Amino acid sequence: MKIWDLPRTEEEAVSFFQEKGILAKNSICDQNHQMKLSFCDGVRWRCNSCRTKKSIRNGTWFESSRLSFLSALRFIYGWSQEMTSVKWCEKQLKMNHNTVVNWNNYMREVCVKVLAQRNQNKIGGPGKIVEIDESLFTKRKNNSDQQQWIFGGICRETDECFLVEVQERSLPVLLNTITNHIEQGSIVYFDSWKSYCTNDMEDANLKHFQMNHRYNFVDYDTGVKNNTKIKQLCWGSVKWRNKKHRKTLCHHLETYLAEFMWRRNLNDPFEQILQDINVCWNNQ
């Protein structure tokens, strides 16, 4: 869908969300009467028999927001196209700063929930190659910079990947992360870092080869070609996003990583986020 194809009235926006399954198409009052939708005093369900009424937002993803459905729809579309900066939203959607921040958080929370469902499946598998690496990020906390290590992996064959925060780079922490996110029998490629040089990886049934991209494109001891896929696809893009947002707040780093992961390999992010909002909410 193009931006000029979006609904232009509040009624059309509500109908759009109903068709996507995000808003209910009908409602029954406590007396078991069919209610009708009214736009006279906000968007409410009204019962002509017992005179009861309730907001269409009740029990929906929109319950905690008072933003009009038309503005919400335009924001969701803008977010799907990575346009929802505070400046853009203030100018184009007449949203104030706090509302923009809150709605960007709502969208990333959907990404977190979607990834939580996806991450039940590990990447790689017998004979498949998974590149792993760690990278240092800068994040904001109390108006000062703090360092945070992010550990990631990407499967060469399927392009599936994971990114997780780690509190330290110790062997037990990294090995636990590897075994939690990579299938047994995978071939794991990694840099020549001392914490990786351990038989514990083989005990976990993870075949492993060492690479040192700082000095060689090919490790002559193992014959493994240095594929920088994880560095090109993950670290570069994620750190660019982090800088774009003027360094991520400490407690938001996980959600920004989730958004990056969610956006990978999408043909239509607008339709996908609408589908994910519907699925995540209905599965609660």
Give how many domains the chain has, as a whole number: 1
Q: Is residue 211 part of a domain?
A: yes
In a domain, 50, yes or no: no
* Amino acid at residue number 103: W
Alpha-carbon radius of gyration of the chain: 23
Rounded Cα distance between 53 and 234, Å, is 49
The DSSP code for 23 is S
CA distances to 17, 159, 283 from 120, rounded to whole Å, are: 29, 17, 16
- How far apart CA 13 and CA 19 sit, in angstroms, is 10
For tokens 């909002």, the residue is 277
Q: Say how many C-beta atoms besides its own lie within 10 A of residue 35's C-beta.
A: 20
With respect to residue 271, please indicate whether it lies within any of the assigned structural domains: no
Q: pTM, whole model, 2 decimals?
A: 0.73
Burial tier of 263 (Cβ tally within 10 Å: 0-12, 13-18, 19+): middle
Chain Cα centroid distance, residue 280: 12
The answer to the question of residue 75 being in a domain is: no
Tell me whether strands 144-155 and 248-249 are parallel, antiparallel or unpaired.
Answer: unpaired
- Do the domain assignments include residue 181? yes
* Tokens standing for residue 110: 């959907």
**Amino acid (one-letter) located at 45:** W
Residues near 250 by beta carbon (within 8 Å), at least 6 away in sequence: 139, 140, 141, 146, 148
| Domain assignment of residue 234, given as a range | 129-263
pLDDT (tens digit, 0 to 9) for every residue of the chain, 284 residues total? 888 899 999 999 999 999 999 999 999 998 999 999 999 888 999 999 998 999 999 989 999 889 999 999 999 999 999 999 999 999 999 999 999 999 999 998 898 888 777 666 788 888 888 888 777 765 544 455 567 777 888 888 888 888 887 877 777 787 888 888 888 888 888 765 555 555 666 676 767 666 555 434 334 355 555 555 555 555 555 555 545 554 444 456 778 878 888 887 788 999 999 999 998 877 55
Residue 89: inside a domain: no
Indicate whether 95 belongs to any domain: no
Dihedral, CA atoms, 166, 170, 175, 180, nearest 10 degrees? -20
* 160 in a structural domain: yes
* CATH number of the domain to which 162 belongs: 3.30.420.10
Instruction: Give the separation between CA 134 and CA 254, rounded to whole angstroms.
Output: 15
Q: Provide the residue count of the chain.
A: 284
